[in-house]
């Protein structure tokens, strides 16, 4: 097995978006494969006793200023979504469904959702808005919406989230290299160092 970095993410996390813009370059530099693991951040927060900065006003104000600085440093677009926080359960079930059933279009789905959440913000709590985003990305909204409702998809997302909590995860983005856990997009430099040190 070659080098791998696991990326646990939820589209509702702006820092997961920042990580998404940088991790592929880091993985490519070190010849590593990204293992994509969709989780439901709300469920992870609840199970771990954590909560979104959206519910801690002072932390939220600071965090979004900090994110803007990181986006500028990375040279990537970022715009605060006025609909934040968005209930992402359907979006994350969609990610699981694409991964399970349409893996060749999984990354197109991920890219479309992250960009619609944090580059050119759309109200992704509105199914009609999600459908429009999917159509614009060349994906089939009706087919995806059907898959989102399937029990095996629901169970897989719950399993991903429950397993993440058992492994010590309390938020997103979280990365694993082997058993070593890294939390936050501001730890990507450490992720790169760990990949550099990892035997292929």
The Cα 18–Cα 70 span in angstroms is: 8
Q: What pLDDT score does 199 carry?
A: 64
Q: What pLDDT score does 186 carry?
A: 95
- Prior bond to 163 cis, omega within 30? no
Q: What pLDDT score does 58 carry?
A: 85
Q: What pLDDT score does 64 carry?
A: 83
Q: What is the pTM of this model?
A: 0.94
The Cα 10–Cα 189 span in angstroms is: 21
Decide the pairing of beta strands 180-183 and 3-9.
Answer: unpaired
CATH code at position 28? 3.40.30.10
What residue spans of the chain are helical by DSSP H?
A: 14-29, 41-48, 57-74, 89-101, 106-118, 127-136, 141-148, 151-166, 188-197
Structural domain harbouring 70: 3-197
Q: What pLDDT score does 198 carry?
A: 84
Q: What is the mean pLDDT of each run of 10 residues along the chain (200 residues)?
A: 92 97 97 98 78 73 89 97 94 98 98 98 97 98 98 98 97 96 97 88
**Count of domains for the chain:** 1
Q: What pLDDT score does 190 carry?
A: 97
């Amino acid at each position: 097995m070659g080098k791998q970095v696991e990326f646990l993410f939820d589209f509702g996390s702006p820092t997961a978006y920042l990580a998404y813009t940088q991790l592929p370059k880091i993985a490519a530099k070190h010849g590593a494969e990204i293992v994509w693991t969709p989780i439901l951040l709300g469920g992870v927060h609840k199970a771990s006793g954590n909560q979104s900065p959206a519910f801690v006003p002072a932390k939220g104000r600071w965090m979004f200023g900090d994110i803007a600085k990181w986006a500028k440093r990375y040279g990537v677009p970022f715009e605060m979504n006025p609909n934040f926080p968005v209930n992402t359960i359907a979006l994350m079930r969609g990610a699981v469904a694409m991964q399970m059933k349409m893996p060749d279009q999984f990354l197109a789905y991920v890219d479309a959702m992250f960009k619609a959440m944090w580059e050119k913000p759309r109200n992704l709590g509105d199914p009609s808005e999600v459908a429009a985003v999917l159509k614009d990305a060349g994906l089939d909204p009706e087919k995806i919406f059907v898959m989102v409702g399937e029990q095996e998809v629901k169970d897989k997302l719950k399993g991903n989230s429950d397993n993440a909590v058992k492994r010590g995860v309390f938020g997103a983005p979280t990365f694993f290299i082997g058993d070593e856990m890294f939390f936050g997009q501001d730890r990507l430099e450490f992720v790169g160092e760990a990949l550099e040190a990892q035997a292929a």
